[in-house]
Amino acid sequence: MGVMDIVVSACLVGVPCRFDGQARPQGAVERLVARPGIRAVRICPESAGCLSRPRPPAERQSDGTVRDRDGRDVSEAFAAGARKCADRAQACAARLAILKAKSPSCGSGRIYDGTFTGRLVPGWGVAAELLRKEGITVVDEEKVAFCEPSVEHPVAIMLGSGMGNLAACVHVVRRIPYSDIEGFPDGAQPVEGHRFEALVGTIEGVPVVVYPGRIHLYQGFSEQEVTALVRHAHRIGCRDVIFSCATGGLDPAIEPGTLGLLADHINLTGRNPLACRTIGSVVETPFVAMGETYSPYLRQFARAAAEEAGIALDEGVYAGLLGPSYETPAEVAMLRALGARYVGMSAVCEVIMARALGMEVMGLTLVTNTAGSADLTHDEVLARAAASSDKAAQVLMGTLRLLGATTR
């Protein structure tokens, strides 16, 4: 079995290294680093910077320096400790760091504001900032706890064209006909390669809800109908959602059968499920930040799963079009110029809805053809997707194994 190296704040796994001489163990982090295939490299930038403990608490100031409550500038110690920890991360080739939230050394996205009042401001701790500059994905323990699969919070998996056979991997305990799902259109018929029955159960012991088919805008359905399955997944407790889809490769060098990881998308459908008069009854706000649409955290597990399985994993931007016609050569040239690597006719509206509901999103695609081909048929797309779907299954199952399961 391959190993996924993760850098983790030592205090989160029980090491008493905080300024007050205590640890801050966090159950989800401890369970993650104990799983087969995960190797944790424990770091404490403040200990590495030779700061004593116990000691006065310190906070990062608006000018970037770090001062303790007594007013002493401890910036050099924090910087030296951060550099040592970054060197350790590079030595083990870790691409993911789980660091203590809000800390002046380890905080990610939000840190204490330097006034010792407990007020938080946008920002990064000294070590977290350095690790990010080294290309390492940095998250806090709250992200790990949120994404941890459980019976109460199963992983939702939305399968695309030609990949419905992945449903065979599910140990099914319950089936939900799509006709029983609120908002799913009455009388909708699946396109070939899809099945309209949600499967509740486990894969590799991890609780999942698998949706082995979807409807599309190109069939004449509305954005609200297309996103009904995502809303259902959210209602039953899913926090992580994995989308799979078949796409055309925009770079001629991408061989059909290539498995790709979605890094971002361009919505060219002309539709958005949040542009709706009644959306306020579904989401807190339609003004949703899309800066990290595809979870950097989940993507690291997919990369590790692909490496463990010996599967080459491409990565790039997905362009979502309305369809159902395939792309012209001129459209392919335009999409390449826009920076897209894959093109398809699904997922973007569902992904937008998932993000608006606060879900963590991962996207996998099977490249079935070179975009702009003169003689492409839907049957060929289905056949090529089915022929390569075992790759997607291996990466998906490996991702679930690494994320693990708990009976909380």
Kindly state whether residue 138 falls inside one of the protein's structural domains. yes
Boundary-marking domain end, from 115, 145, 175: 145
> pLDDT tens digit string along 31-62?
999 999 999 999 999 999 999 999 999 999 99
> pLDDT tens digit string along 262-277?
999 999 999 999 999 9
Same domain, 153 and 141: no
How far from the centroid of its chain's Cα atoms is residue 268's Cα? Answer: 22
Kindly state whether residue 119 falls inside one of the protein's structural domains. yes
Same domain, 341 and 196: yes
pLDDT at site 406: 58
Query: How many independent structural domains does the chain possess?
Result: 2
Q: What is the mean predicted confidence (pLDDT) over 200-219?
A: 93
Same domain, 127 and 226: no
Same domain, 92 and 189: no
* Long-range contacts from 50-56, C-beta under 8 angstroms, 24+ separation: 50/77, 50/80, 50/81, 51/19, 51/77, 51/78, 51/81, 53/16, 53/17, 53/18, 53/19, 53/20, 53/21, 54/19, 54/20, 54/21, 55/19, 56/19
Same domain, 284 and 219: yes
CA distances from 359 to 194, 196, 238, 343 (A): 24, 22, 8, 23
Boundary-marking domain end, from 145, 169, 184: 145
How far from the centroid of its chain's Cα atoms is residue 153's Cα? Answer: 15
pLDDT at site 379: 79
Residue 407 pLDDT exceeds 80: no
The neighbouring-strand residues paired with 209 are: 156, 200
Res. 408 pLDDT band, cuts 50 70 90: very low
Residue 164 pLDDT exceeds 90: no
Same domain, 190 and 135: no
Q: How far apart are CA 45 and CA 88, in angstroms?
A: 11
C-beta atoms surrounding 312 within 10 Å: 11
Same domain, 195 and 128: no
Boundary-marking domain end, from 130, 145, 160: 145
pLDDT at site 188: 83
Kindly state whether residue 212 falls inside one of the protein's structural domains. yes
Residue 334 pLDDT exceeds 80: yes
Q: How far apart are CA 310 and CA 47, in angstroms?
A: 38
Residue 154 pLDDT exceeds 60: yes
What value does the mean pLDDT of the chain take?
93
* The pairing of beta strand 96-99 with beta strand 66-68: unpaired
pLDDT at site 204: 86
Q: Is residue 305 a contact partner of residue 399, using CB atoms and an 8 Å limit?
A: yes
Residues with Cβ within 8 Å of residue 278, at least 6 apart in sequence: none
Kindly state whether residue 76 falls inside one of the protein's structural domains. yes
Kindly state whether residue 180 falls inside one of the protein's structural domains. yes
pLDDT at site 26: 96
What global pTM score does this model have?
A: 0.94
pLDDT at site 193: 58
Where would I find the beta strands (DSSP E) of 10-141?
38-43, 58-60, 66-68, 96-99, 108-112, 120-124, 137-140
Residue 218 pLDDT exceeds 70: yes
**Angle at 316 (CA atoms; ends 314, 322), nearest 5 degrees:** 120
Instruction: Write out the residue range of the structural domain in which residue 17 sits.
Output: 4-145
Place of tokens 């003169």: 374
Residue 123 pLDDT exceeds 60: yes
pLDDT at site 374: 76
> pLDDT tens digit string along 368-403?
999 988 777 777 777 777 777 888 889 999 999 999
> pLDDT tens digit string along 74-86?
999 999 999 999 9
Res. 203 pLDDT band, cuts 50 70 90: very high
pLDDT at site 223: 96
pLDDT at site 385: 75
Res. 194 pLDDT band, cuts 50 70 90: low
Same domain, 173 and 295: yes
Kindly state whether residue 45 falls inside one of the protein's structural domains. yes
Work out the percent of the chain whose per-residue pLDDT is above 90: 85
CA distances from 138 to 6, 97, 131, 293 (A): 10, 5, 7, 16
Cis peptide before 185 (omega within 30 of 0): no
CA distances from 91 to 40, 50, 95, 137 (A): 13, 21, 11, 16
Q: What is the mean predicted confidence (pLDDT) over 193-201?
A: 85
Residue 136 pLDDT exceeds 90: yes
- AA letter at 105: S
Residue 209 pLDDT exceeds 60: yes
Residue 330 pLDDT exceeds 50: yes
Residue 210 pLDDT exceeds 50: yes
Residues with Cβ within 8 Å of residue 292, at least 6 apart in sequence: none
Q: How far apart are CA 298 and CA 202, in angstroms?
A: 18
Kindly state whether residue 408 falls inside one of the protein's structural domains. no
pLDDT at site 314: 97
Angle between helices 348-356 and 228-235 (to 10 degrees): 30
Domain CATH code at residue 356: 3.40.50.1580
Angle between helices 75-91 and 126-133 (to 10 degrees): 40
Same domain, 185 and 72: no
Q: What is the mean predicted confidence (pLDDT) over 225-254?
A: 96
pLDDT at site 373: 82
Kindly state whether residue 263 falls inside one of the protein's structural domains. yes
pLDDT at site 77: 97
Q: Residue 90 corresponds to which tokens in the numbers above? A: 């590079």
Same domain, 168 and 278: yes
Q: What is the mean predicted confidence (pLDDT) over 310-333?
A: 96
Helix then strand then coil, % of the chain, to nearest 5? 30, 25, 40
Same domain, 174 and 239: yes
Same domain, 192 and 141: no
